[in-house]
Amino acid sequence: MIEAKLEEILNLMDEIMQDTSVPRNIRSAISDAKHLVTKEDGDKVVNITQAIYILDEAANDVNIPMHTRTQIWSLISALEAYKESLK
């Protein structure tokens, strides 16, 4: 169940990173967040919290397309739920 949730999150991240209408800095932020979420070493909860912070910053970028902002909000929500399931 937990792994399926993580797979969903990673797929959404990949979808955003492959969207060419998304500015490069936003795609880079998504990539950084994905790296943190998939990182094996360190505290998973701390890594996910850092990823959420990065995504929140990206969602507040003025140049972000509205559909991408909505996707990032969904992603943040999914990461919050995933983080809670790890506690």
CATH number at residue 42: 1.20.1440.50
Range of the domain at 56: 2-86
pLDDT value at residue 1: 64
Structure tokens at 70: 């909505």
pLDDT tens, position by position, 37-84:
999 888 999 999 999 999 999 999 999 999 999 999 999 999 999 999
Q: How many domains does the chain have?
A: 1
The H-or-E segment that residue 86 falls in is: helix 66-86
pLDDT tens, position by position, 16-26:
999 999 999 99
Structure tokens at 82: 């995933």
pTM, two decimal places = 0.93
Q: Which residues contact 23 (CB under 8 A, 6 or more apart)?
A: 61, 63, 64
